[in-house]
Amino acid sequence: MVNAITLKELSHRLQGRLAGPEDLIICGVNDLTQATQDQISFIGNKKYLPMLAESKACAIVASPDIQIDRPAIIVDNPILAFAKMLDIFAPPLPKVDVGVHPAAVVNSPLDKSIAVGAGAYIGENVIIGANTIIHPNVYIGSEVRIGQDCLIWPGVVIRERVIIGDRVIIHPNAVIGADGFGFNLINGKHCKVTHTGTVVIEDDVEIGACTCIDRAKAGATRVGAGTKIDNLVQLGHNVKIGEHALLAGQVGIAGSTNIGRYAMLGGQSGVIDNLTVGDGAQLTAGSVTYRSIPDGKMYSGWPAQDNIASLRQQAMLRKLPELQKTIMDLTKRIHELEQTIHNSERNDDRR
């Protein structure tokens, strides 16, 4: 973290082109609407120029095609530059001292570089890699394997025999390895199915707060390397997530479903059990699919279908009130024509 930096130094770190005074002091980064007179902001699209006119930011990061009315750093990708600035000005994370806090309960030998916070519990035969940080009130069950440089935030539960790779981040109150939702109806009662499997989280995965990843009935529920999972996501037993997938908040994936590499699932979308969502496939927010999605396809709606077909269907649905009025008008006219014909036929009979 830096508390202040010159515009020249910031431009150098962003590998941008300076357009303004080199010695201008920047004390932070913020969005256009909230930036103060000593902060820098960014603009990634010309449609935000009206907001720029009202912004108090002392400097702006922008692309070459946008005209700026104040000191600026010109970069090819302002959004990426903004992310870098957040890293530069980010306040320090809550600290857990290296070593084991006196109020932690640890039943396995640990590397001296590991930090374990107050109230954490670590079971027997646990192996944790170097430089991993265990925040307060984390539960780690017996025979768990956790790699190097991991960050486990408060309240996380990692059940017995779960395997976690290197550089994994698990946010508060996530639960990894709880029993899957498996029951058999026998003689009118729902009888629990024992789940003897585990969960494997590969390297560089990030798991959001309050997300639940259930253990497999047998074998492993698996999350592939580089996958990023948002808050409040539910992964059922024996689910397989490929590498570098993105799962937004409140996604639900039922048991034994396979999600491909680089797949993207929008918020509150769902996939029923025993399906396959292909590599690079997308399921838009709020959609639920009852069938597998081929590689590279985008599905949307409920039930989900090809996105273009779904959009056309939604366009037709918006026309339903107009179509209903048209049908009612036509029905009225038909009735009137029928009545006219009927009256004409009666008059002919009288003649």
Q: What pLDDT is attached to residue 223?
A: 99
* Cα–Cα distance for residue pair 308/203, rounded to 1 Å: 36
Query: Among 237, 244, 335, 342, which one carries the catalytic annotation?
Result: 237
Task: Name the least confident of 90-94, 321-325, 344-348.
Answer: 344-348
Q: What pLDDT is attached to residue 131?
A: 98
Residue 121 lies in a domain: yes
Task: Name the least confident of 132-136, 200-204, 347-351.
Answer: 347-351
Do both 74 and 106 map to the same domain? Answer: no
* Cα–Cα distance for residue pair 298/240, rounded to 1 Å: 20
Q: Answer with the one of 41, 68, 89 that is the final residue of a domain.
A: 89
Do both 248 and 329 map to the same domain? Answer: no
**pTM beyond cutoff 0.85:** yes
Residue 314 lies in a domain: no
Q: What pLDDT is attached to residue 325?
A: 86
Q: What is the DSSP string of 305-346?
A: EEHHHHHHHHHHHHTHHHHHHHHHHHHHHHHHHHHHHHHHHH
Q: What pLDDT is attached to residue 344?
A: 74
φ/ψ (deg, to 5) at 7: -60, -35
Q: What pLDDT is attached to residue 347?
A: 66
User: Which pairing describes strands 298-301 and 304-306: parallel, antiparallel, or unpaired?
Assistant: antiparallel
Do both 183 and 254 map to the same domain? Answer: yes
Do both 29 and 50 map to the same domain? Answer: yes
Query: Is the pLDDT score of 345 beyond 90?
Result: no
Residue 305 lies in a domain: yes
Do both 220 and 337 map to the same domain? Answer: no
Do both 138 and 20 map to the same domain? Answer: no
Mean pLDDT of 23-29: 96
Residue 32 lies in a domain: yes
User: How many folded domains does the chain comprise?
Assistant: 3
What would the pLDDT profile of 105-126 be if each residue is shown by its tens digit?
Answer: 999 999 999 999 999 999 999 9
The domain of 289 spans 99-309
Q: Give the number of other CB atoms < 10 A from CB of residue 50.
A: 10
Mean pLDDT estimate for the chain: 94
Mean pLDDT of 296-305: 93
Confidence of residue 44 (pLDDT cuts 50, 70, 90): confident
Nearest Cα to Cα of residue 252 among 293, 301, 287, 215 = 287
Do both 304 and 324 map to the same domain? Answer: no
Q: What pLDDT is attached to residue 321?
A: 85
Do both 188 and 136 map to the same domain? Answer: yes
φ/ψ (deg, to 5) at 17: -105, 125
Do both 201 and 336 map to the same domain? Answer: no
Nearest Cα to Cα of residue 26 among 42, 1, 6, 11 = 6
Residue 315 lies in a domain: no
Residue 94 lies in a domain: no
| Active-site annotation holds for 237 | yes
Do both 85 and 31 map to the same domain? Answer: yes
Do both 212 and 330 map to the same domain? Answer: no
Query: Is the pLDDT score of 351 beyond 70?
Result: no
Mean pLDDT of 222-233: 99
Mean pLDDT of 155-183: 98
Q: What CATH number should be reported for the domain holding residue 48?
A: 3.40.1390.10
Nearest Cα to Cα of residue 255 among 173, 207, 199 = 199
Query: Is the pLDDT score of 45 beyond 70?
Result: yes
Residue 146 lies in a domain: yes
Q: Answer with the one of 89, 117, 141 that is the final residue of a domain.
A: 89
Q: Which residue has the tokens 């290197």?
A: 166
Confidence of residue 350 (pLDDT cuts 50, 70, 90): low
The percentage of residues in the chain with a pLDDT greater than 70, rounded to a whole number, is 97
Residue 336 lies in a domain: yes
The percentage of residues in the chain with a pLDDT greater than 90, rounded to a whole number, is 81
What would the pLDDT profile of 52-85 be if each residue is shown by its tens digit?
Answer: 989 999 999 999 999 898 999 999 999 999 999 9
Q: What CATH number should be reported for the domain holding residue 125?
A: 2.160.10.10
Do both 46 and 138 map to the same domain? Answer: no
